[in-house]
Structure 1
Amino acid sequence: IADMPGEFWAYEMLGIYYVEAGETDRAAQIVEQFMEQVRTGPSFLKAQLLLARIHYRKQNLDKALELADEILQENPADAAAHRLKGGILLLRGDFQGAITEYRAVLRQDPQNIQASLYIARAHLLDGEMSLAENTYKKILEMHPNEQRAHFGLVEVYRRKGETTAAKRQLEMVLEVNPDDTETLMRLGDMALSMQDTEAAHEYFNRLSALHPDSGHYNYYKEGMVKLLEGKDAEAASLFEKSLQVDPDFIPALNQLINMLVKEKRLEKAFQRCRDQIARSPDNPRYYVLLGKLYMMKDDHDGARKAFEEGLEIDPSSPDVLLSLAKLAKLSGSLDEAIARYQSLMEKYPKNLGVALV
């Protein structure tokens, strides 16, 4: 940069380096430094696009959108700017606006699978199931082995209550890639939801063979099958084994606590949760679980104390912050609840659960 202050590529490389290092403010300063020297031309537009992406990475969506619009005003055919704007609008819930932007990308590049997938996703999120289904099917006509399109159809069919059709999509992926971990996991979970324990055993055994080092997960899934079969003692033993392998694996502790609560053994549930906290004291989600047990006793002070202990461990934990917001709402402190939810939305704009609450 010192030798060639007018060459964008050097600023670009350094800016990308800072982005990857997590120093987005410094990255933005580097790009702005170039833009102050070169105020027009193709290199300026490239710098503007990189700056927009940096603001997008920082979750400063207003500024990212403003920059994308400036680029498109100068060059309406800029596919990268349309793609970025589509992503921003998708995050904001403007699904039709996002579709318009991704269609502009396809006009420049008709074979762009990613743009087609985003269009299908936007239709899905907007509740347009038929349009989403048709878009995913068109993608598969051109690219029969596009796994993301199969997974998209799985979600469409599940929302429509067509479990058999959803299962068939997963089986089609498995026919091409028999050892695909994510597909085996989805089929195993689907078998559990359909109470098909024999199929669940099959899929989870295949996962265990593929990932023998993932003992905590394998024990947990086998425990879920035993739970479905009504073999609670065997299930509990497997969940305990899961936690022995990985003391921080919260799904296993969740199941143990749920089993005790269903048996109306609340004090035993408290003790089991505290035991796990003693084994793994730096896991903020365990304090969330403890706080929820206090809430079952209508002990809001105890719940708040547990949540705040979790917050001391990880001040940015979305689970802890969400639990504190829910507690404030339940306690009637609506102003505090709204403030906490708004703070969460600023920190985690992609968290749809927070947005829904």
Structure 2
Amino acid sequence: MTFRIMNYTTKITATLKKTGAILSILLFLSSGSLFAQDSSQWVIDADNQRKFDYYFYDALNAKAQGNYAEALNLFQHCHALDSTNASVLSEMSGFYNVLQEKNKAIYYLRKAVEIDPDNYYYNMMLASLSSELDQKDEAIDIYNKMLKAHPDKIDIFMSLAEAYNNKGELEKAIGVLDELEQNVGVREAITLNKFRLYSMLNQKDKAFEEIEAIIKKTPDNLGYILLLGDLYMQDGQLDKSLEQFKKVEAIDPDYPALVLSMVNYYEKTGKPELALEEINRALVSPMLEIDVKLQLLTRYITMLQSNETDTKIANPLFTTLFDQHPNNAQLNLLYGSVLMVQENETEAMKQFEIYAKAEPTNPAGWEQMLRIALPDSLDKVVDITQEALKHIPNAYQFYFYLGGAKYQQEKYAEALVVFEEGLEVIGDENPPVKSDFYAQVGDLNYHLGNKEVAYENYEKALKLNPQN
């Protein structure tokens, strides 16, 4: 079963569509005194201005509280009262953009810019939306206009360069970045973008000259030397890449990022045994941060599996890491996963229990414990899911596992309660999951003799997912 988490955009979209946010004709019929608003001389009268202010601040308040459908309704009412207000036009554009009604979004945003042509944010939003809708020339024109008005804003330079890049005018993009570099000096973001553009033009010498220039400016920055080596390696120039790595090693042999670069180099040159040695050496070093070690350790395990090497040789490394970092729960989660590969479920369960205790609101630990408990230990499944729901009451997957366990234990009434509680926390954005819950509620009602209720729930399940 696939479980999906609704993001911010989905939440707004679902709320707006559910409520039905379009008022159109009703607003025009109910708005008191309305006038033809094509004229730039049009001015809202005092009575309607009071209404406008009331609705506008109510709309902002509704938006801040997450009541998006109400907010859009109120902004539409404001627009009916005064269609020349740029703030309202911009707000409406934002809502239509979220609703994926892009043509309406750009229409209202263009109107906002027409009314307030010097507004920085309206113009930048319009340029971004124009780029998204493949209106490349419009985006470029806007960025050029804004650059004349705000020659000190780095983000306009970067956006204009990207707009030229999107249009395929790479030389113009480089020209914009050159101008920016003259204004602010050599900077990593500019250099990397110029490297990318020169590479796309197949001008490799100029591309690498850009990286060498930033190294020349900051010779003590080992990260840039390492970056040059990584880029040489990506380009297949392995001798030059190793030369840069050796420079870093001579200055600081314990430089954390050097390990990853050397591992990549050894893999690229067909020397996996040296890559493993490099990782092994780094993992026991007290100089590296735990986050880097976890990244290396994951890479190490993957390489062992790829080479069909027994992963048990990694177990002593975990012992060392637990001594060095006794309170890092991510180590327990990773070690538990490795023990599962080794089919040592008893020890794996211990590691997942430690992780779940340390990170009770992260479902990963509980889910790994369920992998071990299912399908043989229903009592254990009940214990795990009940404990998980104490900490993550909105994690509907645990309702499904708990209800399923009680169902198999033939505790039909208890299972029914669990599935009904689960239905209350599942959003409308998950129809296949909700369908499965309705199907289980139907089955349980059937077992309990409530056939009419059972059939009602079967219909709900099929309506959400005809393939159920």
TM-score normalized with structure 1 length = 0.55
Distance in 1 (CA, whole Å) between partners of 2:254 and 2:115 is 51
Structure-1 separation of matches of 2:167 and 2:201: 16
Give the conservation status (yes or no) of the 8 Å contact 1:150–1:170. yes
**Aligned-partner Cα distance in 2 for 1:295–1:178:** 47
Distance 1:81 1:222 in 2: 49
1:290–1:93 distance in 2 versus 1, CA, 3 Å: farther
1:268 paired residue number: 274
Find the counterpart in structure 2 of residue 217 from structure 1.
223
Q: What count of residue pairs does the alignment treat as equivalent?
A: 268
Counterpart CA distance in 1 for 2:305 and 2:114 is 54
Aligned twin of 2:135: 128
Aligned to 2:112: 105
**1:226, 1:232 within 8 Å by CA — same for their partners in 2?**
yes
Partner Cα separation in structure 2 for residue 236 and residue 204 of structure 1: 15
**CA offset at residue 208 of structure 1?**
4.3
Residues in 2 aligned to 1:87 and 1:100: alpha-carbon distance in whole angstroms: 11
Shift of 1:143: 4.7
Per-residue deviation at 1:102?
2.3
Gaps spanning 5+ residues in structure 2: where? 1-50, 313-329, 338-354, 365-396, 398-428, 431-468
Alignment RMSD, CA only?
Answer: 4.8
Q: Answer whether contact 1:277 1:287 (CA < 8 A) is retained.
A: yes
- Residue type matched to 2:60 in 1? L
* Matching of residue 68 in structure 1 with residue 71 in structure 2: yes
In structure 2, how many angstroms separate the alpha carbons of the residues matched to 1:259 and 1:105?
53
* Code of the aligned partner of 1:232: S
For 2:18, the equivalent position in structure 1 comes to none
Whole-angstrom CA distance in 1 between matches of 2:109 and 2:101? 13
- 1:110 positional shift: 1.4
Whether the 8 Å CA contact 2:59–2:70 is kept in 1: the answer is yes
Whether contact under 8 Å (1:184, 1:207) holds in the other structure is: yes
User: What per-residue deviation string (whole Å, max 9, x for no partner) do you get for residues 162-221 of structure 1?
Assistant: 3322211211222333345532342244445656565456544553466567x2422223
Which residue identity is paired with 2:269?
Answer: E
Query: Matched residue of 2:190: which SS?
Result: helix
Give the conservation status (yes or no) of the 8 Å contact 2:59–2:72.
no
On the 8 A contact 2:78/2:88 being kept in 1, the answer is no
> Aligned pair 1:234/2:240, yes or no?
no
TM-score, normalised on structure 2? Answer: 0.44
Q: Following the alignment from structure 1 to structure 2, what is the Cα–Cα distance between the partners of residues 223 and 127? A: 36
Matched, 1:282 2:311: no
Amino acid of the structure 2 residue aligned with 1:280: E
Larger Rg: 2
Structure 1 residues 260 and 209, CA gap change in structure 2 (3 angstroms): closer
Match of 1:115 among 122, 129, 140: 122
Q: State yes or no: 1:309 paired with 2:330.
A: no
1:241 & 1:314 partners in 2: Cα distance?
41
* Distance 1:282-1:178 versus aligned 2 partners, 3 A rule: closer
Q: Which 5+ residue runs of structure 1 have no aligned equivalent?
A: 1-39, 56-62, 321-335, 337-344, 347-357
* Identity over aligned pairs, percent: 15
Match of 1:96 in 2: 103
Instruction: Return the offset for 1:122.
Output: 1.6
Cα shift at 1:72: 0.7
Distance 1:266 1:177, change over 3 A: same
Deviation per residue, 1:218-248 (Å, 9 max, x gap): 222332465455423213335657986763x
- Structure 2 Cα separation of the partners of residues 154 and 94 of structure 1: 27
Is residue 94–residue 105 contact of structure 2 (8 Å, CA) maintained in 1? yes
